[in-house]
Copies of this chain bind each other. A is one copy, B any other.
């Protein structure tokens, strides 16, 4: 196992501890189990935004706690949803009396635990609304969109909802509405080239031959659409882009942001090689790119491969996406 760790059982907790030590002005750790990351120095005179999910995807999910992004995040073990108690602690810590938006990926465990947590907190008078990311077009057809997994595109919803919640007149309803619009407008497709190893399992989550890639694979190694030989970067970019344009019906005259995201091991150089082609094709098609993101936004530890996300922007979504945020994993450059 080519990993740097102590006991597999301590992987998630030690990572969170280190993260808070590394960014003492940004992140605080709280909750009964120490599994809640909260924003330091933030006021509470606004709608709170909470996310949650398993470990192993940094900077997703907890890394996006910050001003103009999330207020708190509940963290599970590697690739496992957060516990109900941690969801409750996260929601409580983000609540300032204006309600809390729960914004996370469409996975069974996360949904169930956040639902239980919000139900119990209703009794304490905390109002919540839930918006689920369903951007992974590799996981279900457009007709069954509510079965799609949430992957890297969730970051767009974080940024947009976070900026909205910072506006003076924002309400839980208006923040939830804009988060839902962000989710509705976002599509993602991934390509995996090699797996990662979950510490507690100790062996790779799947196997691919030396010359193989899997198209449409999920960020926990969920099976994709098809498996085949690795193709050239430009062909890969074209295939991913076409899948997304077709699915979302994005066409000439539309304005988008693009995210080229490494699943972990794939280096920046290769993300830029992909982005170069994507940018060129979008230009040819008359689709304008407002704000590209190229880097590691939602990873699967040391998995290699990349995902491509597109969000169709309207005026409000673009303004919220470009609004400043203060977080180690967000740059407005």
Query: Chain A: residues with CB nearer than 8 A to chain B?
Result: 1-6, 11-12, 14-19, 21-23, 25-26, 55-56, 58-59, 63, 193-194, 210, 230, 232-234, 236, 260, 264-276, 279, 292, 294, 296, 299, 301-302, 304-306, 326-328, 331, 333
Determine if B56 and A269 form an interchain contact, defined as CB atoms under 8 angstroms apart: yes
Chain B residue numbers with a CB within 8 Å of A1 are 210, 230
With CB as the reference atom, state the residue of chain B lying closest to A193. Answer: B2
Q: A233-B6, A302-B267 are in contact. Are A273 and B15 (CB under 8 A)?
A: yes
Instruction: Please tell me which one of the listed residues B232, B260, B292, B328 contacts residue A333 in the complex, with CB atoms under 8 A apart.
Output: B328
Distance between Cα atoms of A273 and B17 in the complex (Å): 8
Chain B residue numbers with a CB within 8 Å of A14 are 233, 272-273, 276
The 5 tightest CB contacts between A and B, nearest first, are: A18-B272, A18-B276, A265-B265, A15-B269, A58-B268
Determine if B301 and A267 form an interchain contact, defined as CB atoms under 8 angstroms apart: yes
Q: A292-B21, A327-B333, A331-B328 are in contact. Are A16 and B272 (CB under 8 A)?
A: yes
Determine if B234 and A18 form an interchain contact, defined as CB atoms under 8 angstroms apart: no
Instruction: Please tell me which one of the listed residues B22, B264, B279, B306 contacts residue A4 in the complex, with CB atoms under 8 A apart.
Output: B306
Distance between Cα atoms of A198 and B107 in the complex (Å): 38
Distance between Cα atoms of A59 and B262 in the complex (Å): 14
Q: A4-B274, A236-B4, A279-B21 are in contact. Are A265 and B264 (CB under 8 A)?
A: yes
Instruction: Please tell me which one of the listed residues B5, B236, B276 contacts residue A273 in the complex, with CB atoms under 8 A apart.
Output: B5
Q: A4-B236, A233-B6 are in contact. Are A272 and B328 (CB under 8 A)?
A: no
Interface core residue of A1, A210, A269, A271 (most chain B CB under 10 Å): A269
Chain B residue numbers with a CB within 8 Å of A305 are 4
Determine if B270 and A3 form an interchain contact, defined as CB atoms under 8 angstroms apart: yes
Chain B residue numbers with a CB within 8 Å of A19 are 268, 272, 294
Interface core residue of A6, A271, A273 (most chain B CB under 10 Å): A273
With CB as the reference atom, state the residue of chain B lying closest to A18. Answer: B272
Distance between Cα atoms of A294 and B4 in the complex (Å): 14
Contacts A16-B272, A56-B267, A331-B331 supplied; 20 other A-B pairs, CB < 8 Å: A2-B193, A2-B194, A2-B230, A2-B265, A4-B305, A5-B232, A5-B270, A6-B232, A6-B234, A15-B268, A15-B276, A17-B272, A17-B276, A56-B269, A59-B268, A265-B265, A269-B301, A296-B296, A326-B333, A328-B331
Q: A2-B304, A194-B2, A328-B331 are in contact. Are A272 and B15 (CB under 8 A)?
A: yes
Determine if B269 and A22 form an interchain contact, defined as CB atoms under 8 angstroms apart: no
Q: A4-B306, A333-B26 are in contact. Are A269 and B11 (CB under 8 A)?
A: yes
Q: A22-B294, A267-B302 are in contact. Are A6 and B56 (CB under 8 A)?
A: no
Instruction: Please tell me which one of the listed residues B5, B16, B230, B273 contacts residue A233 in the complex, with CB atoms under 8 A apart.
Output: B5
